[in-house]
Structure 1
Amino acid sequence: MKAIVTTAFGNPPKTTIENRAKPTPREGYSLVRIHTATINQLSKYIRQGNIPGLNAPLVLGNEGAGSIEESARFAPGTRVGIYGGNKLGITEDGLFQEWTLVEDARLFQLPDTLNWDAGATLSVNFLTAYRALTKAADVKAGQSILVAGATGSVGNALVQLGKALGARVIALASSADKVTRARDSGAHDVIDLSQEHDVASAVRGLTDGQGADWAFDPVGGTVLNQLLYSVRFRGSVVSLGFAGGMEPAFDALEIIAREKRIVGYSLHAETDEDVSCALAELVTLAAAGKIRPLIDSTVTIDGFEEGYARLASRKAIGSIVLHLQDNATEAR
């Protein structure tokens, strides 16, 4: 089978396509034929050597979708989504290969509403968004939420899930095209950052002068401070990403004087039980058509570097999906 192997971390990393033996099934694991996997920020940081303590060679890929080949839990041919947790594509070989052994607890059956591309992106992005909305925050119906990077993978999930929870969603987008896509995903209001530079003022104008109840930041960098100014008195900003920078600056006086909070969230700190419950909720929402992952583009094994180039461009609208099988474009 083909496997994309990062042989040395760095910028640029060293990566090759190898022919490897298909994994041998063992107890507690399922052998999955991988159809699709996502090219995301996590794998980019790993391959560039930005996460200490990890070792190459390594097959990346932490979330994806495939069909069961051998399993004690699922019937052969069952379409499954894969959440790699803290292991797959991080400390052990992941999903950028044609077959992978996956712990049964990391698998969930895909609803028929999702094709291989959408199925690959349901776990990490939507899990992160769902738990950020319901654990790090406590979003209630009727509240207002502000979402930065609203057309990125996690941002788009926040928009869709925020709407599904009954919140009023205000999205931030950086171009006219992204404004349209954010509206299509369910945002009630969209602030075009190419036209509006005073985000806080724009948000207050949409919320009767109060500011948003919650703000969610999958971007980091200078965006966090803009969100801090945009939430109401005693409002909160949830930080869950750093694509725009790992050392954001923020106004301490704003936090103290208006009793605001910055809350961190990491999916990889969740328990298996909480992840399982959240995945069940997401599958139900997807089956009902209330959420659907947004796909920016797809690449093949031989063209996987094009996916990382697209990710680095910051122009992607939605997720970038790697096809591991020739029939990955089929609906199911």
Structure 2
Amino acid sequence: MRALLSRAPGGPETLELADLPDPAAGKGQVVVAVRACAINYPDVLIIEDKYQFRPERPFAPGGEIAGTIESIGGGVEGWQVGDRVMGVIGHGGLATRIAVDAHRLYRLPDARSFAEGAALILTYATTIHALLDRGRLSAGQSLLVLGAAGGVGLAAIELGKAYGARVVAAVSSEEKAAAATAAGADATIVYARAPFDKDQSRALAEQFKAAGGRGGFDVIYDPVGGDYAEPALRSIAWEGRYLVVGFPAGIPKLPLNLTLLKSCDVCGVFWGAFAARDPDANQRHVETLFRLWEDGRIAPRVTQRFSFERGGEAIATMAARGAIGKLVVEIES
């Protein structure tokens, strides 16, 4: 097998394509011939040793895959060799084969491509947990989505609309605004690139407030962080919920007096820990996502595809915050 390996902390340029022994399926595992691996922001962090988890090196990044089962270990039921599967595995996906715990996998519908399958679960499962469990979003409420043209951002637009919210998408370019509108956003805001001085921060807050209306936003979905966070928080409604999802623009420092003045909640969203602590609730969410996918109410947007050899380039594109929708590396096993 071949894998794109991280041997030392660093950027995408440090990854090395290497030949390794084929994996064997242990108890409760299957070996998947990987056909597609989606790239997400954790892949940027994990190779730099900046993520919550630090795998033992060498390791391959890539936490979201689709492919076919090649072999099955002991104690595995419900799967057969040749079955098409998709799942979130943490890391190791930028490889031609990987041994995976069978409980991490879901059946890939016959009508869906490997690229679509690899692009679904992480962003949408994170987002449905965020909006429903942490944000308590309901029909008729207003939702502000920052970084709205990225994978989780587009997922938040689609799921927000599926649950009856008015969705305002905040993005950094007109091209991204068009993508957000195509995903169903009711309105868009194009903001400048941070860092911001005080006047620029105040002006962005006024943009958000104008879009939120007199009542403000019931839920704010923030996968960006940095200097965008405080202006967004200033537009929140009374007893609103601010969802902390990620920090590609940096970890913000929020003035907590705003939470008192608005009686609002600042809620962390850590989907991986939620899924591990409450697998039954997560399974119900995933089943809901599959129904919405089948009904055409959500659909992962794979906007760029990369060959296996260009996997590092896919991670570099994600690191530059230039991605619209999902980036997928396609792998010939």
> Which range is displaced more, 273-282 or 230-239?
273-282
Does residue 65 of structure 2 align to residue 64 of structure 1? yes
Distance in 1, Cα, partners of 2:24 & 2:212: 57
Does residue 301 of structure 2 align to residue 297 of structure 1? no
Does residue 266 of structure 2 align to residue 265 of structure 1? no
Partner of 1:330: none
Alignment of 1:77-92 (within 5 A): 77-84=82-89, 88-89=90-91
Partner of 1:171: 169
Distance in 1, Cα, partners of 2:160 & 2:315: 28
Query: TM-score if structure 1 supplies the norm length?
Result: 0.90
Does residue 292 of structure 2 align to residue 277 of structure 1? no
Distance in 2, Cα, partners of 1:113 & 1:134: 28
Distance in 2, Cα, partners of 1:194 & 1:218: 16
Does residue 223 of structure 2 align to residue 218 of structure 1? yes
**Structure 2 unaligned blocks of 5 or more:** 194-199
Q: How many residues align?
A: 318
Partner of 1:306: 313
Does residue 34 of structure 2 align to residue 34 of structure 1? yes
Amino acid across the alignment from 1:80: V
Amino acid across the alignment from 1:251: P
Amino acid across the alignment from 2:98: T
Distance of aligned partners of 1:12 and 1:175 in 2 relative to their CA distance in 1, 3 Å threshold: closer
Distance in 1, Cα, partners of 2:60 & 2:11: 17
> Which range is displaced more, 306-315 or 187-196?
187-196
Partner of 1:111: 109
Partner of 1:161: 159
Question: Would you say the 8 A contact 1:13–1:48 is kept in 2?
Answer: no
Amino acid across the alignment from 1:227: A
Q: Percent identity?
A: 29
Question: Deviation per CA, 1:237-276, whole angstroms, max 9, x where unpaired?
Answer: 1101011102x02222222222222111101211322222
**Superposition RMSD on alpha carbons, in Å?**
2.0
Partner of 2:197: none
Distance of aligned partners of 1:154 and 1:249 in 2 relative to their CA distance in 1, 3 Å threshold: same
1:53 CA displacement: 4.7
Question: Would you say the 8 A contact 1:112–1:287 is kept in 2?
Answer: no
More helix by share: 2
> Which range is displaced more, 179-188 or 69-78?
69-78
Amino acid across the alignment from 2:255: D
Question: Deviation per CA, 1:122-164, whole angstroms, max 9, x where unpaired?
Answer: 1111111110011111110111100000001111111111111
1:279 CA displacement: 1.4
Amino acid across the alignment from 1:66: G
Partner of 1:135: 133
